[in-house]
Amino acid sequence: MIRTVQRLLVLLFVLTVFAAQSQQIILFQNHENGIYKSGDKVRIVAFLQDKSTDSITVKIQTDFTKWSTKKHTYTGDSMVVFEKTLDKTGTLVFEVASTNESGSIGLICNTDKFIPGTQRPKDFDLFWENQIKNQRLLPFQLVQKFVSVPNNGYSCYDIELNSTASKPARGYFAKPQNAKPRSLPIVIYFHAAGVKGDWCRSEPGNALRYATMGKGALCFDLNAHGMLNGQPESYYADLENYDLKNYPQIGAENKDRSYFLGMYLRLLRTIDYMTKQPEWDGKRILVLGESQGGGQSLIAAGLDKRISAVVATVPAMCDWGGTLVGRKGSWPYLFSTANNREKMLANVPYFDAAHALKNCKATLVVEVGLIDQTCPSSAIYASLNQSKSKKIIFTAPYRAHHFTQTAYKPLYNKTIAKSKDDFIKAFLSK
């Protein structure tokens, strides 16, 4: 009875918001979190405010690969568009469209049954142990420039760290002034995919945001590519068009030349640098990011057991091999490229979060979008299932990779977003 009341309250909230924003179609399911098990019955109901339409089109996508389409006669302001008992592991995405509007929702069945589509290399651990050992033999060469910021009581620096990667690790480092030794946690912020967008670049504001949370933190905002900070737009545009064009495919057939090797070495170098700060409490390290940044966060936790917590939003780099077993793998879909598949099978798995997470000790706080075509839920669960650490997973049945169904944003802000923020604040306030 309690769950029924909760569902009705959620439905009433969403309907009210959609009405206020003139959204025409919303979808609702009997498991509001979109998670089911075999034997569970699914019921998808569509709510339409447009009473003038006489038909709707229902598209159903299975395992983020195959679509089926059927037209229905519209029967009123709400109607059941799907009703079935689930009998196998997989995902479903529903799109309902009238003449003028559409709505989407997704679900996943048997979350604990997903496994990676590729085998973990037998020498995975040895490969990374050697990479980490070799990098740690390299003496630190630090270039830092003081950055003036408006926050009194905080210092910020433009940082460059040498690395065994082809480019150094670069970003912004912010911290409280006059903090006592061994008093502060570490936060490392990773960025989403791309090169020239503002979401790809390190900014002092990102570092300061987390440095000022809780009782203060040592925060490093690391860009993925070792790019210079604060450069003219032309600098980033040239990188995107030339040196970093299609960067995920660079070295896909050779693990020693993989672009992701350099990306991961830079993040590992940054962790080592941050743990040398005298203010670090020796215990807490939080890594976080969205999309590619979420993937880097999971990788960091898998390759460095000192990471104690991860907050990853719709993470990429998860189960690239899903493509090989009838599902859609995660961004950047390396097994869907023209590269030699056999060579990729021998090299790509070394950089897949699905295999790195086996050694993870961190608490994993992960947001999964159940209609996310970029980083499918099945790929994320296939990766998370490899870790035996504590997991706090938030599923958003209405979320694509980007928030396209904006009328759900108030509900999202009150639930998933707030829960993630509360976790971060609590972690930094210990």
Instruction: State whether 101 and 134 are in the same domain.
Output: no
Which helix (DSSP H) or strand (DSSP E) does residue 371 occupy?
none
166-174 average pLDDT score: 98
Instruction: State whether 27 and 156 are in the same domain.
Output: no
Instruction: State whether 317 and 372 are in the same domain.
Output: yes
Asked, for residue 232, whether it belongs to a domain, the answer is yes
Instruction: State whether 250 and 178 are in the same domain.
Output: yes
The rounded distance, in Å, linking the Cα atoms of 406 and 398 is: 10
Asked, for residue 347, whether it belongs to a domain, the answer is yes
Asked, for residue 115, whether it belongs to a domain, the answer is no
Helix %, strand %, coil % of the chain (to 5) = 35, 25, 40
CATH number at residue 29: 2.60.40.1930
CA separation (Å) from 51 to 12, 47, 113?
A: 19, 10, 42
Asked, for residue 118, whether it belongs to a domain, the answer is no
The torsion defined by the Cα of 128, 134, 135 and 136, in degrees rounded to 10, comes to 110
Split into its structural domains, the chain has a count of: 2
The SS3 call for residue 379 is helix
CATH number at residue 144: 3.40.50.1820
Query: Is 6's pLDDT higher than 80?
Result: no
The SS3 call for residue 8 is helix
DSSP state letters, 326-348: TS---TT-GGGSSS-HHHHHTTG
Instruction: State whether 106 and 136 are in the same domain.
Output: no
Q: Which of 76, 110, 144 is the last residue of a domain?
A: 110
Instruction: State whether 139 and 94 are in the same domain.
Output: no
The torsion defined by the Cα of 272, 273, 278 and 283, in degrees rounded to 10, comes to -30
Asked, for residue 15, whether it belongs to a domain, the answer is yes
341-359 average pLDDT score: 98
Instruction: State whether 106 and 226 are in the same domain.
Output: no
Instruction: State whether 90 and 165 are in the same domain.
Output: no
Instruction: State whether 167 and 246 are in the same domain.
Output: yes
Q: Which of 51, 77, 110 is the last residue of a domain?
A: 110
Instruction: State whether 90 and 177 are in the same domain.
Output: no
- Cα four-point dihedral sign 18, 21, 25, 27: negative
83-95 residue pLDDT tens: 999 999 999 999 9
Asked, for residue 407, whether it belongs to a domain, the answer is yes
Query: Is 98's pLDDT higher than 80?
Result: yes
Is this model's pTM higher than 0.85 or not?
yes
Instruction: State whether 153 and 257 are in the same domain.
Output: yes
Per-residue confidence at 99, pLDDT binned at 50, 70, 90?
confident
Asked, for residue 117, whether it belongs to a domain, the answer is no
Per-residue confidence at 101, pLDDT binned at 50, 70, 90?
confident
Instruction: State whether 201 and 240 are in the same domain.
Output: yes
Q: Which of 110, 142, 159 is the last residue of a domain?
A: 110
pLDDT at position 383 is 98
19-54 residue pLDDT tens: 445 457 999 999 999 999 999 999 999 998 777 778
pLDDT at position 141 is 98
Asked, for residue 55, whether it belongs to a domain, the answer is yes
Residue-number span of the structural domain to which 271 is assigned: 124-428
